[in-house]
A and B are shown apart, each in its own frame.
Chain A
Amino acid sequence: MATDSRRLAVPQSSLDPKSLCPAKVERLLNDEEQRLDGRYSSESRGIYLQCGTVSQAKGSCYCELGNTKVVCSVYGPKDVEHYEDFQMEGKIKCEFKYAPFSCSKHRGHIPDLSEAEISDVILQALTASVRLQCYPKSLIEVFIIVLENDGSAVSASITAASLALADAGIEQYDIVTSASVRVYGNGNFLEDPTSVEEYRPQDFDSESGGDLNHGLVTVALLPTLNQVCAVLSNGHLECDVLVETIQMCTSLAQNLYTAARKCLLSSVKSVDQNNA
């Protein structure tokens, strides 16, 4: 286990007391087709976006998606570190981190494998939208921290990161918006899942021999160009179900465009007012 000697030592292994309770088999949809929080399957939670929340950063964005709360700040463009090769294109560095207290389970201070993977996916999504040729020899740093994880943290982070880049005045082809859909059994698509609804390896119907589809799909989209710039899925899905889910995510991400635009416009307006 990786440890950081500069930090106070905590027990090497600890246990979430909740995991000792017998696991409740909860159905995510009741007989009236309602989810645990009372939403219907094709109902997303409200999104709140605000730019310019971090005063020290060049650009920043705060995103709330139900109880999921994400802060993203952007620094740069600045000089690349001296040992890097000369590059005509700029470089983006992206760091995604769950705050140690953000999930039901305690998270370590050092990014684990899944966080490194998500950082990479977000980086690829942003690389598709940023006009890197405008920033030769420069580095743009994107830091994302999840304060509270109640599902769909990855999609909230991607949207927030793109808006933070825009807030920092980094040239982009388009804003990136993102959405997640949970596939729950055959024919149930839960839009914008909460943390309880996200896919876990235990989700398996032994009676049907695993014939049902279960999984979580996250897609990031460049809405005006209609280009997909990130896809991430887990679980087990038939190909046609996966395709259908991706299409669903795409249209959900498309719907976020208006909200993202509004947020950027209002942040520009408030800057104007302050200057006046």
Chain B
Amino acid sequence: MSLFGNNLSDAEKCFIIHGIQDDFRTDGRSCDNYRTIELAVNVLTNTHGSSKVRLGNTELLVGVKVELGKPEKATPDEGRIEFHVDCSPNATPAAQRKAANKDFVNNIESMLVRTYANKIAIDLTSLCIIKGKMCWIVHVDVLILECGGNILDCTSLGVKSALQDTGIPRVVVKSGDEGEEEVELPDDPFDVQHISVNNVPILVTVSFVGTRHIIDATVEEESCCSASVVMGVTRRGRILGVRKQCGGSLNPETLVEMLEFGKKSGRQLHVALDKMLKSYEKGTTGYL
């Protein structure tokens, strides 16, 4: 991630690290606070579900499209969910460098795949229409509009809200001629079913800067960070995948503290997001 960090001088880095030591960050937050999160769902008309999230200076759009497809041979009774992340040079000048951009995007995609690759996160059998023949394929496309640090957490918030918003047409399977099954789409475009997002994970990045760990690091703080841990946390506090990032190392005790801290923050974030989505009115922006 440091590729996208701006070039801070040693004095500036020192200032940030000392501030964090005293639990007072450059934007006035304490170590365990998120920046204000602005969220809007159902923002794109051509998608089945969408969301727009802004976390400090980080902004992204998530669009979910569902399409009919064939299930994988190995899992005939399951649909699929596919993630695609795109970062244009609009978001950060570093995206112009192809190799760096690819690494950056792969990093986000692989963490999403890692945390969704289990039966807890999402029930893929509910996406199956005809066993072995037809299923829903859910394409989750993330477009990063602005990079302001903590992309991973922001992405996962957007993905969860967009999936919650996603309406899958309620198709009817009928037996047609010669025992072949036929699929009929409903006439009413609002006749849809929703994906259960109760156990969908939110990614929480805990960064270790200087001598303390912080949450929701800005770009400047990310460039001072020696090591960070990303984890997928469900609403119940289960952990669906962990990865250490950045080139530093961590004391085993510190690592444990960071994991527990991340779990706690993740659960709080889930509660705040669910509350906001429940009371959400279309066309407005909600705040977490």
Contact = CB atoms under 8 A, between A and B. Distances in A.
B238 interface: yes
Most buried by B among A114, A123, A217, A236: A236
Interface stretch (A67-75, A155-163, A238-246): A238-246
Contacts of B114: 117, 234
B107 A227 contact: no
Nearest to B73: A15
Interface in B209-266: 227, 229, 234, 237-252, 255-256, 259-260, 263
A116 B103 CA distance: 8
B interface secondary structure, majority: mixed
A117 B115 CA distance: 13
Given A116-B110, A229-B249, A236 B255 contact: no
Contacts of A113: 106, 109-110, 113
Given A117-B110, A242-B242, A243-B259, A234 B117 contact: yes
Interface in A221-241: 222, 225-239
Nearest to A174: B249
A231 B109 contact: no
Interface residues of B, number: 39
A246 B256 contact: yes
Given A201-B117, A232-B244, A116 B249 contact: no
Nearest to B234: A236
B255 A246 contact: yes
A95 interface: no
Given A19-B73, A210-B120, A239-B259, A233 B249 contact: no
B162 to A, nearest CB: 21
Contact of B243 (A210, A232, A238): A232
B255 A235 contact: no
A40 interface: no
Contact of B244 (A114, A204, A228, A243): A228
Interface string B255-282: 1100110010000000000000000000
Nearest to A232: B243
A233 B120 CA distance: 15
A244 B114 CA distance: 21
A20 B76 CA distance: 10
Contacts of A232: 242-244
Most buried by A among B107, B119, B237, B248: B119
B250 A227 contact: yes
Contact of B263 (A123, A222, A239): A239
B111 to A, nearest CB: 8
A243 B107 contact: no
Interface in A114-150: 114, 116-117, 120-121, 123-124, 127-129
A226 B252 contact: yes
Contact of B110 (A114, A201, A210, A227): A114
A247 interface: yes
Contacts of A242: 239, 242, 259
Nearest to B243: A232
Contacts of B242: 217, 231-233, 242
Interface of B: 73-75, 103, 106-107, 109-111, 113-114, 117-120, 227, 229, 234, 237-252, 255-256, 259-260, 263
20 contacts: A113-B109, A113-B110, A117-B111, A117-B114, A120-B107, A124-B245, A124-B246, A127-B247, A202-B119, A210-B119, A217-B242, A225-B249, A227-B250, A229-B250, A231-B229, A231-B244, A233-B239, A234-B114, A235-B241, A243-B260
Top 6 nearest A-B pairs (CB, nearest first) are A127-B247, A227-B249, A117-B110, A204-B119, A128-B249, A229-B249
